[in-house]
């Protein structure tokens, strides 16, 4: 029975992974699309952002007819601060991030930015204020410059280079055969994982959006790339409202607020110091596991 069950389980897992990859690709294409073609509510206004404070208020969500993935989830990501989402696999962290650009709408509750329900504004105005950096950076066919410009089509060459500098990418770009005009993607030069990540961070930086949604990479980079990517991320996060699915202990420790999720609910919330001291708490247990494994990665699970 076990033998018969295993492949089916693996297939089901693969199916979920493929669906998630599709959502990720949509995030990248659509979040950057300044004129999304989905219908807005009649009379929808443009979102105006002041502090870029994000509030989830009793948000309930289910994929189709599946059981709810988020259950009356409430938390606030304060303007200009970093809020880290941690918790076991399947807790609903990626789903939270997917709801902000409105790839899906909640079944109940509301998501507010500076007090405005995002269901009431145009999607294009909402997404203009968002940037997204995924775990697996996607490079399009085209030059390095095109790939960064994708973040904001009207960006000037100078703005692209500024973003690349901030993202720690300028020097390696200049070292490519044709500098910023070097083709990447399937028919272009092969870049390392760390270089691809820095390009995708430059793409987010050139948007200059007040809100950054970040799915931190789990895959290990070599120490040098790791430091370069971390510097780039620090630049991208500075002064922005960041919601990060955190995999590195350092991200969690430095976050202004940690939301510990479990089964679609907020299990605990606080800073690293306050949560680590809650005896028997989920975070304290996750944190101990991390310390025991002694690895620099993966605070999740």
User: Which residues in this chain contact ligand ATP in the complex, by CB under 6 A?
Assistant: 16, 19-20, 23, 63, 66, 69, 87, 89-95, 300
**Min separation Cβ 68 and ligand ATP, Å:** 9
**Min separation Cβ 70 and ligand ATP, Å:** 8
Q: Which is nearer to ligand ATP, 67 or 280 (CB)?
A: 67
Q: Which is nearer to ligand ATP, 208 or 298 (CB)?
A: 298
Q: Which is nearer to ligand ATP, 93 or 170 (CB)?
A: 93
Q: Which is nearer to ligand ATP, 5 or 224 (CB)?
A: 5
Q: Which is nearer to ligand ATP, 82 or 95 (CB)?
A: 95
Tokens 């996060």: give the residue.
237
Between the alpha carbon of residue 249 and those of residues 79, 105, 212, 246, 253, the distances in Å are 22, 31, 19, 8, 6
Q: Which is nearer to ligand ATP, 98 or 200 (CB)?
A: 98
Q: Can you tell me the distance from the alpha carbon of 242 to that of 112, in angstroms, rounded to the nearest whole number? A: 15
**Min separation Cβ 186 and ligand ATP, Å:** 26
**Min separation Cβ 184 and ligand ATP, Å:** 27
**Min separation Cβ 104 and ligand ATP, Å:** 9
**Min separation Cβ 181 and ligand ATP, Å:** 36
Q: Which is nearer to ligand ATP, 192 or 218 (CB)?
A: 218
Return the sign of the alpha-carbon dihedral for residues 291, 297, 299, 300.
Answer: negative
**Min separation Cβ 77 and ligand ATP, Å:** 16
Asked whether the beta carbons of 103 and 23 are under 8 A apart, the reply is yes
């Amino acid at each position: 029975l076990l033998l018969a069950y295993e492949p089916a389980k693996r297939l089901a897992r693969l199916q979920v992974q493929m669906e998630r990859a599709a959502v990720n690709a949509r995030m990248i294409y659509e979040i950057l699309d300044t004129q999304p073609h989905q219908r807005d509510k009649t009379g929808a206004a443009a979102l105006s952002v002041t502090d870029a404070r994000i509030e989830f208020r009793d948000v309930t969500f289910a994929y189709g007819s599946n059981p709810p993935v988020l259950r009356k989830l409430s938390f606030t990501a304060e303007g200009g601060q970093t809020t880290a989402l941690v918790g076991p696999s399947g807790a609903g962290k990626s789903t939270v991030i997917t709801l902000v650009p409105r790839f899906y709408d909640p079944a109940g509750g509301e998501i507010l930015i500076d007090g405005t329900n995002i269901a009431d504004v145009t999607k294009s105005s909402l997404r203009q204020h968002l940037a997204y950096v995924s775990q697996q950076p996607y490079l399009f066919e085209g030059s390095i410059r095109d790939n960064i410009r994708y973040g904001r089509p009207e960006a000037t060459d100078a703005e692209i280079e500024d973003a690349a500098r901030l993202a720690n990418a300028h020097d390696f770009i200049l070292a490519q055969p044709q500098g910023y005009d070097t083709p990447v993607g399937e028919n272009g030069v092969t870049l390392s994982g760390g270089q691809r990540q820095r390009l995708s961070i430059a793409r987010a930086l050139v948007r200059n959006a007040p809100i950054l949604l970040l799915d931190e990479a789990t895959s290990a980079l070599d120490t040098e790339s790791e430091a370069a990517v971390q510097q780039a991320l620090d630049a991208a996060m500075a002064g922005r409202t960041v919601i990060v699915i955190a995999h590195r202990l350092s991200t969690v420790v430095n976050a202004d607020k940690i939301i510990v999720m479990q089964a679609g609910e907020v299990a605990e919330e606080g800073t690293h110091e306050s949560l680590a001291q809650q005896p028997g708490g989920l975070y304290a247990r996750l944190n101990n596991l991390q310390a025991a494994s002694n690895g620099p990665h993966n605070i999740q699970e």
